[in-house]
Amino acid sequence: MAGKGLYGQQQGNENRQAALAAMEHFTDNRSVEGDVVDEIRHALRHPHLHPVVAVLIETLRRTKGEFGKGYSDVRIAAIYGQASFGTQF
């Protein structure tokens, strides 16, 4: 069947549900940045380690990221958002 997708949709007109696309995006991020997220989450859960969070974030900003320079502010905000999700301050 030329011109048809796998499930009967027109070729090139593949729509996925937003929730599934978001879940796949979060899974990809978790596999790449999971260690960093775990470190920040651990520091957030223990009040005496809160100053370490600033050091970890500054390290991300300065170390090599995707394109040879530090991570962007948007990427750091996403990492921090993942780490702080569900934690109580």
pLDDT of residue 64: 66
- Take residue 51 and report the two structure tokens written for it: 């100053």
Please state whether the predicted TM-score (pTM) of the whole model is above 0.75: no
The residue behind tokens 């370490």 is 52
Domains of the chain by residue range: 18-84
Residue with tokens 């750091």: 76
**Contact by Cβ (8 Å): 37, 82:** yes
CB atoms within 10 A of CB 9: 11
Burial 20-42 (b: 16+ CB within 10 A, else e): eeeeeeeeeeeeebeebbebbbe
Condensed to tens digits (0 to 9), the pLDDT of residues 34-51 reads 788 889 999 999 989 989
